[in-house]
Amino acid sequence: MFIKFSRHAKRRIKLYKIPEALILTLLKKTTYSFGQQEIIEYVPGYHLPIKVVFDVIGETITVITAYPFKKGSQQ
């Protein structure tokens, strides 16, 4: 599996100070199929859950965006 980050995703990761390794870890422990999908998961050290939206085409996973998920979270 080849994982690449879109320009938008790289900017959001930098803006919200989310380590790229964290996103790779979330992707590796997730099972996925063809098409656009998302992961919403609480991660230790973050007040809000992290949302990762990605697209799977063949053997390539493209991370579209990643950010702290505020909507619907309970504080």
Mean pLDDT per 10-residue segment, the chain (75 residues): 94 94 92 90 90 94 93 56
CA distances from 7 to 4, 11, 61, 65 (A): 10, 6, 14, 9
Domain limits, the chain: 2-57
Residue 32: the pLDDT is 82
pTM here is 0.85
